[in-house]
Amino acid sequence: VTGGASGIGAACATAFGQEGDNVVICYHSDKAPADIIRSEVEAAGGQAMALKLDVRREAEVESMFDSVMKRFAAPQVLVNSAGLNMSGKKVVEMDKATWDAVVDTDLTGAFLTCRRMLREVEKAKLPGRIINISSIHAVAMRSGGAGYDSAKAGLAALTATLALETAAMDVTVNAIA
């Protein structure tokens, strides 16, 4: 679960743990909340690990999956919940670094994690499930939300494309908004 240390990602990680699943809680910078969720998963009977991950960095995504493969084997479920919300700045006021941070986290990060996940389930000949956490703002735009709204609209398109590409692989790809 990317973004697994807070919000929707934390709720997903906890729910998987309550089902007795093995869970990887990926966090961006603050390990303490991820460790709490890891403990909750383990108390519920699952195995868990907390891993630092910046989904914008391809090398970190690859390293995270390598760590998961060493401990648990090929993952069968991926929840992409890592995200940055809107900047509150109108496009005319927004600098490129702000745009890049939001789009790279909310869209490119999902692309990188989905790609690696799909490579692993294909290689292992396993079914797979990808759940991308999107937003109503993929279709309901707001002033000051250009980066976030655009990234979530892109995530909806990526999700639909992946659903088409993976249907024959016994992989489902869905977005929750």
Catalytic residue numbers, as ranges: 148
Cβ-based neighbour number of residue 116 at 10 Å? 20
Task: Give me 46's structure tokens.
Answer: 């699952």
Q: Rounded to a whole number, what is the largest CA-CA distance in the chain?
A: 51
Whole-angstrom distance, CA of residue 68 vs CA of residue 63: 9
* Amino acid residing at 156: A
* Amino acid residing at 161: T
DSSP string, 46-103: --EEEEE--TT-HHHHHHHHHHHHHHH-S-SEEEE----------GGG--HHHHHHHH
